[in-house]
Structure 1
Amino acid sequence: MGRWEPNARGRLGQAALELYIERGYEQTTVAEIAKRAGLTERTFFRHFADKREVLFYGSSTLQDHLVDAVAGAPDSAAPIDAIAGAVESVGVVFQGRRESARQRQSVIAATAELRERELIKLASLSAALADTLRRRGVTEPAASLAAEAGIAVFKIAFERWISGPGEPDLSQLVRESFDELKAVMAGR
């Protein structure tokens, strides 16, 4: 494939994921990723800061989606309900991506550096959600508690989604997980 073909970022992402699965993250170089994608290293670095970011480049889109959903929640929504609605709406972002999400997560789980990066990205999501709640007039510690709880529910539902049999619906798993959280909080 030539450099001029479309979707360089997607091709690089797919090539990286394939190589990480085949060879391991540590053993894969940027040069190998670029070659597999039919591109140059220079093109790789136009799209990604480093080989870690290939696995995390969609995180800003996810954050924007969540922040917009919380900001757009009805004014009457309790903080946890605004977060729950936002996290539930993420199901559409991941629709049709279960297998690639599963593969991505297996690469992350196998590498301490990537697990750390994942935690940093999740902490950034939580901070952005808490900030959005504060802009809606929610005070501390309620804003941070609701945001952290929402990210915890997302992590659990996401893990259930990628590891479960069949084709479960991520939004449904998020709803079920929020219901479980509410039951735990109610002492049931």
Structure 2
Amino acid sequence: MPSSRRTARQTDVLERLVALLTAEGFASFTLDELTERLHCSKTTLYQLAGSRPELVREAVKHYFRKATEVIEKRVADASEPSDRVIVYLNAVAEQLKPLSRQFFDDMAHFEPAREVYEANTRIAAGRIRKLITEGVAAGAFRDVHAAFVGEVVAATMQEIQRGEISTRTGLSDSEAYAELASLIVHAVSP
């Protein structure tokens, strides 16, 4: 159900559902457990989505929709092209920080949620591509292939979010995003 047509109660339940799933994952929860933990009825959950898979998908979409709003507000406050790239990647890291490892693992194994995550990663790559293109046009960055830079960022983001960068380097996710931002800005600077 579109957020504009949700009741205050439905919005509250969805917010609490998102908080629960992002903290603990979702693969092991049944609808009965969710109703108990969220103190709501199955009817309330079914008003949000028609099935458990759709409910999980809706929760993941809701999380990323809100995260995108926060990220874009932060980018809008930055004026220099290099600052916009750094702010964007650091804001992404901050928005992903509350997501548990279990949530990421469950998302990787559950196609409806994984599709939402992959779509958001593609959007992030596109956003980086746009920020690089704007920086090149403004003369702040050297002439680079912005689409390639966007793809490198997306691939690295996926490895950070799967925990692979942390395992191989010992960096926390936020440290890895800071390094990625620095790497990209220095790579495109004249």
Residue 74 of structure 1: aligned partner: 79
Residue 39 of structure 1: aligned partner: 40
**Alpha-carbon contact 1:66-1:129 (below 8 Å) kept:** no
**Alpha-carbon contact 2:166-2:172 (below 8 Å) kept:** no
Give the deviation of 1:157 after TM superposition. Answer: 3.0
Q: Which amino acid counterpart does residue 35 of structure 2 have in structure 1?
A: A
Residue 5 of structure 2: aligned partner: none
Correspondence 1:106 to 2:105: yes
Give the deviation of 1:54 after TM superposition. Answer: 1.8
Alpha-carbon distance in structure 1 between the residues aligned to 2:108 and 2:14: 23
Residue 121 of structure 1: aligned partner: 120
Structure in which a larger fraction of residues adopt helix = 2
Q: 1:155 aligns with which of 152, 155, 158?
A: 158
TM-score, normalising length: structure 1: 0.61
Residue 28 of structure 2: aligned partner: 22
**Alpha-carbon contact 1:16-1:33 (below 8 Å) kept:** no
Give the deviation of 1:119 after TM superposition. Answer: 1.0
* Paired residues, number: 170
Alpha-carbon distance in structure 1 between the residues aligned to 2:102 and 2:88: 25
Identity across the alignment (%): 15
Alpha-carbon distance in structure 1 between the residues aligned to 2:151 and 2:91: 17
Residues 44 and 125 (structure 1 numbering): CA distance in 2 closer, same or farther, change over 3 Å? farther
TM-score, normalising length: structure 2: 0.60
RMSD of aligned Cα (Å): 4.4
Residues 141 and 59 (structure 1 numbering): CA distance in 2 closer, same or farther, change over 3 Å? farther
Correspondence 1:87 to 2:89: yes
Q: Deviations over 1:140-168 (max 9, x none)?
A: 98554444444333333333489659x96
Residue 6 of structure 2: aligned partner: none
Residues 143 and 171 (structure 1 numbering): CA distance in 2 closer, same or farther, change over 3 Å? same
The runs of 5 or more residues in structure 1 that have no matched partner are none
**Alpha-carbon contact 1:126-1:151 (below 8 Å) kept:** yes
Give the deviation of 1:104 after TM superposition. Answer: 0.8
**Alpha-carbon contact 2:108-2:114 (below 8 Å) kept:** yes
Alpha-carbon distance in structure 1 between the residues aligned to 2:48 and 2:38: 13
Q: Deviations over 1:31-67 (max 9, x none)?
A: 6533442212343255557222223321112222333
Alpha-carbon distance in structure 1 between the residues aligned to 2:58 and 2:159: 23
**Alpha-carbon contact 1:156-1:177 (below 8 Å) kept:** no
